[in-house]
Amino acid sequence: MADLPFPWLALGLGLLAAIGLTGSGVLGPAEAYRLPLLTLLIVTEFGFFVTAIGAGIGINRLLASGLQRGLLLSVLGCALLAAGFLYLGIRLWPGGFPL
């Protein structure tokens, strides 16, 4: 079995969290949320940390082993998802900025 680096696993977990969040109505008005606000915040925080750590580990691997296209794609995906989770977490927080 091939060695699956953590950034790919983090990207997959981040995508699952993002799909779950969008399915719960998080992008709509607060009255349309299908899950409690605390649950949405916890899932957003989990997604942020997993993808940010995945991007960090991927960057360290890229610096150590040289440029690998697949690893670079997973790092970019993790970084984009981490930024999206950060934005969504701040937006969800009471008093955060609106969408």
Q: What is the pLDDT of residues 10-52, one digit of tens each?
A: 999 999 999 999 999 888 887 888 999 999 999 999 999 999 9
CA dist., res. 3 & res. 26, Å (int): 35
Which residues fall within 8 angstroms of residue 85, CB to CB, at 6 or more apart? 14, 17, 18, 44, 45, 47, 48, 51
Binned at pLDDT 50, 70 and 90, residue 98 comes out as low
pTM over 0.95: no
Rounded to an integer, the average pLDDT of 85-96 is 88
User: CB pairs under 8 A, 24+ apart, for 60-65?
Assistant: 61/5, 61/7
CA dist., res. 93 & res. 22, Å (int): 16
